[in-house]
Structure 1
Amino acid sequence: MTKIDRYILVLFLRTVFVCFCSIAGIFIVFHAFTSMDDFVKMGQKQDGLVPVMARYYGPYMLLLFDMTGAIITLLAFLFVVGWLRRTGELTATLAAGISHGRIFKPMIIASFCIVTLQLANREFVLPGMRDALSMKAKNVKDDVEEVVLPCYDKTNGILFEGHSLHVKTRTVKQPSFRLYGDYGDYGDLLMADTATWTDATATHPAGYLLKNVSRPERIDQLPSMGTAERAILLTSRDQDWLSPRECFVATTVTTDLLSKDQSATRLSSVMELAARVRNPAVRSSASVHVLLHERIVRLPLDFVLVMLGLPLVVNRRQRNLFVMIGIAILTVLFFFALKTLSGTMGSSGYLMSPAFAAWVPLLVLGPFAYVRLLEVQTL
């Protein structure tokens, strides 16, 4: 790497950092202004105002980076080129016989690294912060209580309902599980004080542990039920690990599917979305299929968005910086309009399948961005 490469790379990364801090600062100022009373109260109860705000806004900064990383990279690309052109450094370098492609190579590689960092953040960091991202300012440490979204288990014939869902503890308060299969003496309803999601272990599959079961009343006298392949309802009569008045319901309907806040779905990783689509117990809507394929093509699509800025900075006409930014904004608007339109059509099943709808923006804009990337090597 030459000195000019290091100079351009440092200038580009510094511009990306400043742009992100500017957007993050605006977000924090406007949001904190409307929630300052809650933060002050929580700060008095806990370890101070600054730590409380850091715990609350920390995950949101990662989410903001995921949402704006590609756009910020595109704007930083334009700012750096405009600066180099204004100082005459770009003209001097071109006069030495160096192509635009060679000059911009450090920024192109850095742009790809940034969208790759977005991918790592999206797949490995954000899924673990879904609970924090669903909290209100007054619930920085408290367990969030949500309304339960009823979900039907097609495999077992059970409709999962309840009074409320506690996100952190993955517990349903006052669960009401309706049994639509042939469950004999269990009747048509399971009621208890709590139902806590439990991951699979060596002694039982994944499912809900119901405590203080009130219906059916003779739960401890009923034998476990299931099929030859799997267990469904387990009781203390033949399960030593269960206590009296406890019942275990084996299912693949997790608490994420019972959450009314569907932002948890959008923050899931590709593997989690694929597992949900393959889950035979629940019906996945077309929008979930579109979301899965959008996440698969997100990395190349973000890089395409950055490369769409190349025609703005590499041209025969010396455009004004503000003109380039204006055209870049229109380019971003067209990019997201195409992405939104195709996603909506795929979700509604109009003219295209969910999988094809997610790939349309890449199929339309990808070749154009690739051609411009090749052309810039010789200009």
Structure 2
Amino acid sequence: MKIIDRERFWAFLKAYVICYISFVGLWIVLDAFSNVDEFMKRAVGFRQLMSVMGRYYLVRQADFFDKLGSVISMMAAIFTVTWMQRANEQLAMLAAGISTHRMIMPVIVSSVVVSGLSVANQELIIPRYAEELQKSHDDDGTQKITMLPSRYDSRGLCIIGREADRATRTITGRFNVTVPKEIFGTGSQIEGKQATYITADHPTAPLRGGWLVRGATIGPPLPDKALEDPESIVVAVKDVAGFPPPFGDVREIAGDVVFLKTTLSFEAMTRKSNWYQYGSMIDLVNGLVDPATDSSDRNDVTLYIHVRLLRPFLALTLMFMTLPLVLGGYGRNMFVNLGYALGNSALFYGVGLFCQYLGSSGVLSPALAAWLPLFFFATLATYRWGQIRT
């Protein structure tokens, strides 16, 4: 590695760290002061408050890096090139026969590395902390989840819940299941006062991969033969030994107990509408074939898969489209160059978000909505790149 290359890498790293700390630090300070009352609901004493706030913002560094990584990379590249110009290094190297493209090669390599780290962050780190990233400031993990949407499983069963307890994987208050007539020959409704999800690998439960519904009523009643058949999707439970204990007061959920076999898990019932933004690519692909994903969510997931695949290329396109503005503005003030670059970035992201809106609304196909900005801006970047003075 040449000495000049090490200087460029070091300049890029310094610019990136300074910009990242400035942007994220300012946001953390404003957000912390605005929500300190919410944090105090989770903490007792100053030390615990600092611990809660520290973990909250530390985990969110993955989300900050995911959203700001490409923008800050572009800003770091601009500062690096502008500092090179202000020190008259560009003229000296051009006079020595070194081309402009060779001068900024370390900047390009650094941007590629940042794009690679962004991909690793999205695929490995964010999915690991997805649930925590979606919590509010006052959510310590023990709060109940409210306003559960209706979900459909692979057989067409529609399940609706009122509240969910994450620790016990239990839906309380209301658990309603609509069984289509194709299954038993007649439509049925299953009402339960409480339902606990039993995972497929539960160590003691005699029935697994479904919901244990307590205080259940079925109307119209199903044939006894159907309820007693172990292969049926609805099985009457006479002995609850081996199942998890009920949640809350047992007297409030007295009544019959049935087990509902379904592909709808607790996670599928309680996930938020933007869950796919925190999932890995495998999670997104699984979401496309998951019956719990409704048509509108499936369209958004398809769009997001394309956006996720193109994100590194879009980040590099932004840099290749912006750097020529700085390299062609030799002698301009550093902040003037930065202003041009930020305006260029605003146009870039504005067009991208508008196309994603059209794709989410069904005006454009998900694939076209994701690829159209790349086609347009890659062409513009190629043209601008060819105008660089060498």
Aligning the two structures, in what range does the TM-score lie when normalised by the shorter sequence? 0.7 to 0.9
| Root mean square deviation of aligned Cα | 3.3
Q: Does the Cα contact within 8 Å between 2:173 and 2:194 map onto a contact in 1?
A: yes
Give the counterpart of 2:332 among 307, 319, 328: 319
| Cα distance change of structure 1 residues 197 and 277 upon mapping to structure 2, 3 Å threshold | farther
Q: 2:365 aligns with which of 353, 357, 375?
A: 353
Distance 1:116 1:212, change over 3 A: same
| Structure 1 position 232 matched with structure 2 position 244 | no
AA of the residue aligned to 2:261:
A
Q: Give the equivalent residue in structure 2 for 1:304.
A: 317
1:26 positional shift: 0.8
**Per-residue deviation, 1:290:** 1.6
Pick closer, same or farther for the CA change 1:212–1:339 going to 2, 3 Å: same
Shift of 1:373: 4.9
**Structure 1 gap segments, 5+ residues each:** none
> Which residue number in structure 1 is paired with residue 175 of structure 2?
176
Matched, 1:161 2:163: no
- Gap change, CA 1:304 and 1:187, over 3 Å in 2: same
Shift of 1:332: 1.0
Number of aligned residue pairs? 371
| Counterpart position of 1:330 | 343
Task: Find the aligned partners of 1:205 and 1:278 in 2 and give their Cα distance.
Answer: 25
The alignment's TM-score, normalised by the length of structure 1, stands at: 0.85
How far does the alpha carbon of each residue in 1:141-176 deviate from its partner, in whole angstroms, 9 at most, with x for none? 332322243333253232211121234654322341
1:82-231 mapped onto 2 (5 Å cutoff):
82-139=82-139, 141-153=140-152, 155-167=154-166, 170-182=169-181, 187-196=188-197, 198-199=199-200, 207-216=209-218, 222-224=227-229
2:66 corresponds to: 66
Task: Provide TM-score, normalisation by structure 2.
Answer: 0.83
Conserved? CA contact 2:170–2:194, under 8 Å: no
Distance (Å, rounded) in 2 between the aligned partners of 1:41 and 1:143: 12
Is 57-66 or 171-180 further displaced after alignment? 171-180
Distance change >3 Å, CA 43–CA 238, structure 1 → 2: closer
Distance, in Å, in 2 between the alignment partners of 1:197 and 1:312 is 59
Comparing 27-36 with 289-298, greater Cα deviation is found at 289-298
Tell me the distance in 1 between the aligned counterparts of 2:244 and 2:132. 33
Kindly state the Cα deviation for residue 276 of structure 1 after the two structures are TM-superposed.
1.4
**For 2:64, what is the secondary structure of its paired residue?**
helix
Q: Which residue of 2 aligns with 1:263?
A: 274
Q: Any idea what the Cα deviations from partners look like across 1:12-50, whole Å, max 9, x if unmatched? A: 011101111111111111111012233345342696232
1:318 shift after superposition:
3.1
Per the alignment, do residues 41 and 238 of structure 1 end up closer, same or farther by CA in structure 2, a change over 3 Å counting?
A: closer
- The within-5 A match list for 1:270-285 is 270-280=281-291, 282-285=293-296
Shift in Å, 1:190 = 3.8
- Percent sequence identity is 28
Aligned counterpart, 1:3: 3
Taking the aligned partners of 1:122 and 1:84, their CA distance within structure 2 comes to: 33
* In structure 2, distance between residues paired with 1:273 and 1:205: 29
Paired letter, 2:281: V
1:243/1:118 CA distance change after superposition, 3 Å: closer
CA offset digits 1:204-243 (Å, max 9, x no partner): 9984332534334999x722465xxxx6334546999668
